[in-house]
Structure 1
Amino acid sequence: MSVLLLCAVIALLLLLRVPVAFAFIAPSLAFMLLTGQSLGLALRLVAESTASFPLLAVPLFILLGSLANHAGIAERLFDFALALLGRVRGNLGYVAVGTSVGFSWMSGSAVADAAALGKLQIPTMVRNGYSKRFALGVTGASSLIAPVMPPSIPAVIYAGLAAVSTGALFAASVVPALLMAFGMCIVVFLLCRNNDDIVRTEFSWASVARTGRRVVAPLGAPVIILGGILGGLFTPTEAAAVGAAYMGLLGFAYRKLTLRTMPKVLVEAVVTSAAIMLIIASANLLGYVFARERVPQLMSDFVLGLTTNATVFLLLVFLLALVLGTVLDATAVLTLITPILIPISAAFDVDPISLGVLVIISLMIGLLTPPIGTVLFVLQAVAKARMSEVFLGALPFTVPLLLICAGIIFFPDAVTYLPERLGL
């Protein structure tokens, strides 16, 4: 009953729009005081939750994405993709997906992707005959590739909590991320095939060569990061530091970054990192309360009482992540449910890598779903649009995500094929 009351208080605070971190930490502290536990213990739990070498990669990858954003990398990728696909019907839809794939190798954040590309893509699409709803939908949906494609910030957080190899999780995420992009391209084709109002541009090899030269150096970042991790040269944390340094050098070389603008970039990265770390710390404190009250054991007994089938278990995980992702920040959900799900998955002989990819993709759908959907709010602000307009525009693009989740549920071993082949 005490845990149910605690959850009810947290739910009430979230309904009152209290920030997630404070909605977790205040009831947890009150619970600990009422049960006679030390506030010193609470302080130690909060501090230790973020004092982790793997989690150090999170602020570094956020800095990398911020540097890439301010260095104008998104615009370079957009121009190159448009030069390649200008003659294709629905060209800007495919360009949006392709640009998101390219930018995802550097950002790792759906919010950064949506903010950077939304300002550029949405007005351009509307001017060229696309509906605003379509422009909002494809931009928002394609931004979800970034948290799945390495370097993925949710993957770093999950790997640290589940005590699995970040490199293996990165490798396992590549194929699902590419399938997300392929599925979204199919949706673009279906939505644009009969639209004669779309403006197309002439193809020019000169334009391809000119814009292609401008993306060669930026595309070196994913080669350095992933090549270093998968080749065993760097840990993910070291790769994030090297990638951020490389992107900073590019920004200065392109004259997009200066000593005067660097404080703004650093403050942006620090604020985002602090928000994520505060959520992790508060969720870890709540997780301690749950662990003390034997919630993981009770959940395990409940699930094992429902089924002994691994497929059904994965389906339940998918539904849980999908529902929680609509009302909570993805970082908070990962921090809360990962310690609970890992022991249960072991009982079902489910690989934690497959489980992680499924949970991350399921949570990403929540970024485009009211009431919390962070990407919804970003695009609403960027395009001065209604939230319903963004959600309805993105709805068709969630179909490929659901199909990919279904594939992981029924064929979880397929996710681990690439990491195993790479020896990770």
Structure 2
Amino acid sequence: MGFLFALTFLVIVTGLPVAFCLAGASYVFVTATGSAPDIVIAHRIINGMDSFPLLAIPFFILAGSLMNSAGITNRLFDFAKALVGWLPGGLGHVNVGASIIFAGMSGAAVADAGGLGTIEIKAMRDAGYDPDFSVGITAASSTIGPIIPPSLPMVAFGVMASCSVGQLFAAGFIPGLLMGASLMVIVAYMAHKRNYPREERFSLSHVGRSFKSSFLSLVTPAIIVGGILTGVFTPTESAIAAVAYAIALGCYYRSLSFKRLISVSMETLDTMSTILMIIGAAAVFAWILTSNQVADNFSSFVMENFESRWMILLTINIILLVVGCFLEPIAAITIMVPVLMPLAKMVGIDIIHLGVLMVLNLMIGLLTPPVGTVLYVLSRVSNLKFERCLSGTAPFFIPLVTVLLLVTYCEQISLFLPSLIYR
């Protein structure tokens, strides 16, 4: 198995697409060891993609893209600005607040970074904020997107772990809000230290006008999340409802043309085809790990060397953080769920809690090289070098890792709402 991991790592660092890295390394391993016929790889790829709940992913992507294209993100940004822009370092808080609101629509960190990021970075630059700080807080706040429901990685985890996607969504609420609060604390500290400006004074009338202007947009999270939690929709049906509502809003605001709708739909197909290739290739890789009893051996090794549950949880976090540096979240989830599930059952870690921990770790991984997808997106948006984007993001790892540790060792932060709603 060392050969498989070494080969995969070697191919990844060459810069090839992740799907080709995983599938190629798996094919070479199977061929070299003669452990299975070649046709098994094709079957595993197809079986990995053949899952009804995965249909939610393209519709959530399409809904987020439609929100960006229809100008809805501008209204959300204006509402967040009226709500928290009066605080010291106002636009930094607006950045976080807008991400929390948009998190209830897109379910993807890259959608947040690419959509809201363009608006936020430009506004912060025009107001005199440092470019590094603007990109850093935009990158860090975009990781809230997949924690607060809906969440594409949590859909993938639910499929792989055969657990309730609705419970996973509910479990992400409080951790997501904690991430937002912790980021706002460090924004306030840096704003005081660097003497960043406030926006206009707080005004209830201004908040009311902004709320009225953005009300129809703010209904979107209520449709998505409320429909799932009340049992009206399945996650897949809620994603379809979100797309229908986004189209209706675009028509109402007269900001979404038929040509743009077709363009966004084609972009979604392109993105989803990439995701499905990653899921299929990762499924083959995960099958090899499972069939070679890597999960059982790993569980036995951890249990033999770590008696403390705290140390086992810390070990899981470190492994996921390292994996997140090299793999896309959905690929990492597809591979790591079969490996970590046996260990989680041995030490009594709730599967919903494990899902939240996995997504939290992998979202932090989106801010780290060599993958660092969010940083690459923001590097293009801001016209800053990747290295500057990384240095600007570095201070915000402190609140994110703090929340990660808090959620890790206090299970009720993630399990309170699922136990309350689904009891």
- Say whether 1:16 aligns with 2:14: yes
> Following TM superposition, by how much is the alpha carbon of 1:161 offset from its aligned partner in structure 2, in angstroms?
0.6
Partner of 1:26: 24
CA deviation map 1:151-173 (0-9, x unaligned) = 01111101111111101111111
Q: TM-score, normalised by structure 2?
A: 0.96
Q: Is 1:47 matched up with 2:46?
A: yes
2:115 alignment counterpart: 116
> Do the aligned partners of 2:175 and 2:403 also contact (CA within 8 Å) in 1?
yes
Aligned residue for 2:217, secondary structure, equals: coil
Seen in structure 2, the aligned counterparts of structure 1 residues 291 and 185 have a Cα distance that, compared at 3 Å, is same
Q: Does 1:7 align with 2:5?
A: yes
Runs of 5+ unmatched residues, structure 2: none
Matches within 5 A, 1:92-131: 92-131=91-130
Structure 1 contact 111–378 (Cα < 8 Å) conserved: yes
Q: Which residue of 1 aligns with 2:376?
A: 377
What letter corresponds to residue 156 of structure 1 in structure 2? V
Alpha-carbon distance, 1:31 to partner: 2.3
Name the residue aligned to 1:305.
304
Per-residue deviation, 1:198: 2.1
Relative distance call for 1:160 and 1:36 in structure 2 (3 A) is closer
1:220, distance to aligned residue in structure 2 (A):
1.1
Identity value in percent:
38
Distance in structure 2 (CA, Å) of the matches to 1:391 and 1:313: 30
Post-superposition shift, 1:129? Answer: 1.9
The yes-or-no answer on 1:233 pairing with 2:232 is yes
The CA deviation string for residues 190-223 of structure 1, in whole angstroms up to 9 with x for no partner, is 0012444526335555543332212111111111
Do 1:119 and 1:382's aligned partners in 2 also have CA atoms closer than 8 Å?
Answer: yes
C-alpha distance in 2 between matches for 1:238 and 1:250: 18
In structure 2, what is the equivalent of residue 422 of structure 1?
421
- 2: CA distance, partners of 1:207 / 1:200: 12
Tell me what 1:175 maps to. Answer: 174
Secondary structure class of the residue paired with 1:69:
helix
Write the distance in 2 (CA, Å) between the matches of 1:247 and 1:263.
14
Alignment of structure 1 residues 12-411 onto 2, 5 Å: 12-34=10-32, 35=34, 37-196=36-195, 198=197, 200-411=199-410
| CA RMSD of superposed structures (Å) | 1.5
One-letter code aligned to 1:126? R
How far apart are the structure 2 equivalents of 1:329 and 1:87? Answer: 37
Contact 2:175 2:407 in 1 (8 A): no
Q: Whole-Å Cα distance in 2 between the matches of residues 196 and 401 of structure 1?
A: 23
Deviations 1:243-274 (A, max 9, x none): 11111111121122111111111011111111
C-alpha displacement of 1:50: 1.1
Residue 302 to residue 188, structure 1, CA distance change in 2 (3 Å) = same
Give unpaired runs (5+ residues) of structure 1: none
What is the CA–CA distance in structure 2 between the aligned matches of 1:290 and 1:44, rounded to whole Å? 16
- Whole-Å separation in 1 of the counterparts to 2:405 and 2:269: 37
Quick check: 307-316 or 174-183, which moved more?
307-316
Distance 1:340 1:205 in 2: 52
Distance 1:381 1:201 in 2: 30
One-letter code aligned to 1:134: F
